[in-house]
Amino acid sequence: MRAKPYLVAVALVALGAGWWAERWLRPEPTGGAVPLLKDLNGETRSLAEWRGKVLVLNFWATWCPPCREELPEFQRLQEELGGQGLQFVGIAIDEPDAVRGFLNEHPVNYPIWLGDQDAPAWADRLGNRAAALPFSVVFDRAGKSVHTQTGIFPRQQVLEVVRPLLRDGVSGP
């Protein structure tokens, strides 16, 4: 029995729609497998929560002086540009109790998640060739890595990278 051309076309459209839905509804920023990420309450989190936003993913630790130095500027940028679609997310490469204690004394206005033991290797896959902290990655609204920064990510440089991305679309969900 020969397949009818319209059935083949419907099947191809359905296959394409399924691929698109999977890619759009559950995207993770590029950089290989994402390690298990938990918030400070132990809830598993996904970077897909920020789909449609310009995402600055910052790997840091409480014991890292340059990491602590850039946090206040990231807070100011989150406050200034969050409404335009910018989202900072900190990935703490540290012991959970140390992170909680630090944030109790120095709260931030963006999510801080705890990276598991695979988080440093993920940062390396994202471009952290020096395996150093702090390390930041900027993702466009589609989840594509567009910039990496090893060491302090100065305000002016952040603005140079994110402003064009913020102009390229509407605010996320």
* pLDDT confidence of residue 4: 59
Q: What whole-number distance in Å separates Cα of residue 85 and Cα of residue 173?
A: 9
* 18 inside domain: no
Domain count, the chain: 1
* pLDDT confidence of residue 163: 97
Q: What whole-number distance in Å separates Cα of residue 139 and Cα of residue 36?
A: 19
Are the C-beta atoms of residues 101 and 107 closer than 8 Å to each other?
A: no
* 17 inside domain: no
We report the CATH number of the domain holding residue 162 as: 3.40.30.10
Q: Is the pLDDT of residue 168 over 80?
A: no
* 25 inside domain: no
Show the domain range for 36.
30-167
* pLDDT confidence of residue 7: 42
* 14 inside domain: no
The pTM (predicted TM-score) of the whole model is 0.78
* 16 inside domain: no
- Please compute the mean of the pLDDT values over residues 78-85 and round it to a whole number: 97
H helices then E strands: how many in the chain?
5, 7
* 51 inside domain: yes
> pLDDT per residue over 33-77, tens digit each?
667 789 999 999 998 899 999 999 999 999 999 999 999 999 999
The helix-helix angle for 65-81 and 155-167 (nearest 10°) equals: 40
* Reported confidence tier of residue 99, pLDDT bands at 50, 70, 90: very high
